[in-house]
Chains A and B, each alone.
Chain A
Amino acid sequence: MKILVTVKRVPDPEQKVKFKGTSVDVSAANWVINAFDEYAIEAALRLNENAATGEKLGETIALSIGPKDVSQQLRSALAMGADRAILVGGADEELDSFAVARIVKAVVEREKPDLLLMGKLATDGEASQVPQLCAALLDWPQATFAAQITANAEGLEVKREVDTGIEVKQVKLPAVVSVDLRIISPTAVVNGKTPATHAYQEGPRYASLKGIMAAKKKEIKEISLADLGVKAAPVTKLVSAEPPAGRKAGVKVKDVAELVSKLKNEAKVL
């Protein structure tokens, strides 16, 4: 099937967050692919291949929106195995969830994929809004937080982990699916072609050196918002961002009686 998979670059979550005035300072950020988007790429590649024979079953297109140097993250998706990439030019500060959803919708209308596959959230803003907004704007069925995906005659069966157990959804294609962490476990994606006995390595695949060389020849098509006929026009405004207050030092108690007294009278948890 033809899969459009979205790729957002985020500051490396392992890097210490810096603040400048009332906003997050990303000038020295080490940019990486949002982890959940990397899982979505892996899920797309698994859906579109017979892992036993190496046969390709469909086209995987990586899409990103942002400044030109997002090409590094798209190149990484191509090196993992995506067939081609689209980079829509845009300024980070103008791209709120609604703007991104409208841009993705415009690309979907051009590319007409069978499946829009996305990470469940981006680790920078943690909004978890874009997949749901896209489904609404496209009027497509959605299955969010996918822990397992099985391709079948009617479309996709998606299993999602909820508090009470596993919820099973069946969606017709075209559809929007957002993926959760579990989608990268060894047998989480079933496409009916890769033998059921095949266990993938846990996690998103590494780009092999041959994959990296092959990616140099793959296309990253750059298009502008004007080409798409979309204005970013964000509807939310970042008012301020500040680090959480540092933790206060704890206190030492003499005995159990004092501990219980403090829990009861000061912390009021007993």
Chain B
Amino acid sequence: MTTRQEVLVPDIGDFDAVEIVEVMVAVGDNVAAEDSLITLETDKAAMDVPAPIAGKVLEMSVSLGDKVSEGSLILVLEAAEVVEAAPAEISATATPAVATGADPVASPVAESSSQSGPDTKSVRTTTPTALPPINEAGFAIAHASPSIRKFARELGVDLSRVQGSGPKQRIVPEDIKAFVKAIMTGQLAAASGPALPEVPVVDFAKFGAVEEKPLGRIQKISGPRLHASWVNLPHVTQNDEADITDMEAQRQALKARAAEKGVKLTPLAFAIRACVQALEEFPVFNTSMGPDNKTLIWKQYTHIGFAADTPNGLVVPVIRDADKKDVFELAAALADLSGRAREGKLKVEEMQGGTFTVSSLGGIGGTAFTPIINAPEVAILGMPRSKMQPVWNGEEFVPRLIQPLCLSYDHRVIDGATGVRFTTYLAARLGDAEGLIGRRRDD
């Protein structure tokens, strides 16, 4: 005897119209109880919906990209054995299956909260490519008569990009038509300026099984920004080392005192103290390029961003007025911000206004890397893992704890000598354990 069992989306918190990012089963598949059926993704977390009972998939009611809410029908199972109590229990067993411990707080997300019918594919994400702005200065000197200019305006053609074929390179109507045709047939990039060479498109499925998943929300947002920084800012990465043996001893010694204040004293708090000191010495690292790239904006405040790894991706919370905080206060701020970052509870303004960023990967490993500047900031400090190393002190090798430093800076603003002076100074500060504790300068 078989029973048809409808599997519905369980209670998934305050979310509505959540996107299905993965479908693990197909009609005809046999599933065991607790096997994952689909994966849903909200802005906070991805969560799997497990099968409440073992059975065979009779019908699928959803597909990849559909938006579902609590109670939406996922599929129909043919129960392998009769389980009388099953329907009532489905949502109960399913609820704890939320993949991460993220707290589904108030802010629900969905690209569009339209209907969540089975056929709604998330195709609406592709927007028509907006025409790039016309280079007006180039347009105004192009060798083109008034009638050609009018024709170009009707089609939105940037005359500064059109090669004229008439006498003395005069642009004639055929040139405009050829230009438009070239764009429409993909021979010419629609964007102005020298287009970046394209990465070849590969059909990966030809070489084996593949699975395609959309990027997570934070990746979708941060990707273009990282790319913009990488292609717009000439990056130079200066590598250096700091001896943090004394700093580490100091940190251990202060741990108890910190614990009294309820603070966990991390190496990053010391590193940020040292960065603040180095920024005071070299304020050019605390600037930003003006919008026209012709002025430099010197900021009279020091807000330090730090890269925080969260279940959903990388975020950069900002410690306000880091220069007015001692190492205990910095440690407390770090703990508070990174804790809330992991929970997805950071406020917008807590991720704004940074003047310099520290990216510490020391907890994981590495010897050196090239951090990408958090533009429009002009520098970022990368910190791989510190390591005990033999250091020649003039007489013998002594074991010292060495912290690699990887400083990327915007070479338009900072020259090489200044870059290395900064890391040298920073290393010296990290070596000066006493100076790192810091008293608030206003007392």
On whether the two chains bind one another, the answer is no
Residues of A at under 8 Å CB distance from B? none
Residues of B at under 8 Å CB distance from A? none
